[in-house]
C-alpha cells in the first residue's frame, strides 16, 4: 500500500509536469489525496502489526530451541516453521505430523521484569 500510494502521487504529478492546465491540477490534487490516504492507511497497518508484536507470547521452540514469538492460539516457529500451540484443543493429531509439532507448555518469561533490591 505504501508503494502504491507513492505511485499514485507520482502519477498525479503528471497533470502538473505535462502542463495540462486547470484539469491537470485537479487530477494532481485528486491523485495526491488518494495517494496520501493510502500511505497513511499503510502506516496505520504497520503500527498495528508492531503493537501486536510487542504483546506476543515469547516461547522456546521444542524443535530448534530458539526463542520465538507466538500470535494467537497457534503459530509457527519463525526459524524452523514448527507448528506451536498453547491450547491442547489445537494440538496437531495424525501420524504424518512431525515429532516436533507438539504442544508447547506456556511458561511466561520473567527475565524482563525488574526485581527490587
DSSP per-residue string spanning the chain: -HHHHHHHHHHHTHHHHTT-HHHHHHHHHHHHHHHHHHHHHHHHHHHHHHHHHHTPEEEE-TTT--EEEE-SSEEE-TTT--EEES-GGG---STTS-TT-PPPPP----TTS----
Burial class, 6, CB count within 10 angstroms (exposed 0-12 / middle 13-18 / buried 19+) = middle
Do 29 and 41 reside in the same domain of the chain? Answer: yes
Q: Are 39 and 45 in contact (CB under 8 A)?
A: no
Do 22 and 40 reside in the same domain of the chain? Answer: yes
Residue 75 is part of which domain span? 58-88
Question: Is residue 113, in this structure, part of any structural domain at all?
Answer: no
Do 62 and 48 reside in the same domain of the chain? Answer: no
Do 65 and 46 reside in the same domain of the chain? Answer: no
Do 64 and 20 reside in the same domain of the chain? Answer: no
Alpha-carbon distance 98 to 22, whole Å? 65
Would you write out the chain's pLDDT as a tens digit for each of its 117 residues?
A: 999 999 999 998 888 888 888 999 999 999 999 999 999 999 999 999 989 888 888 889 988 989 998 888 888 998 999 888 888 887 766 544 544 445 455 555 666 555 565
Question: Is residue 43, in this structure, part of any structural domain at all?
Answer: yes
pTM across the whole model: 0.58
Question: Is residue 45, in this structure, part of any structural domain at all?
Answer: yes
Question: Is residue 103, in this structure, part of any structural domain at all?
Answer: no
Do 39 and 73 reside in the same domain of the chain? Answer: no
Cell of 62: 521444542
Please state the domain count of the chain: 2
Do 40 and 83 reside in the same domain of the chain? Answer: no
Amino acid at each position: 500500500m505504501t508503494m502504491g500510494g507513492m505511485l499514485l502521487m507520482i502519477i498525479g504529478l503528471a497533470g502538473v509536469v505535462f502542463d495540462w492546465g486547470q484539469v491537470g491540477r485537479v487530477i494532481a490534487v485528486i491523485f495526491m489525496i488518494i495517494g496520501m490516504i493510502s500511505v497513511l492507511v499503510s502506516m496505520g497497518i504497520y503500527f498495528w502489526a508492531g503493537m501486536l508484536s510487542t504483546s506476543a507470547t515469547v516461547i522456546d521452540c521444542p524443535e530448534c530451541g530458539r526463542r520465538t514469538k507466538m500470535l494467537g492460539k497457534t503459530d509457527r516457529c519463525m526459524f524452523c516453521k514448527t507448528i506451536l500451540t498453547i491450547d491442547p484443543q489445537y494440538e496437531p493429531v495424525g501420524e504424518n505430523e512431525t515429532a516436533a509439532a507438539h504442544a508447547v507448555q506456556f511458561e511466561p518469561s520473567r527475565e524482563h521484569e525488574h526485581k527490587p533490591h
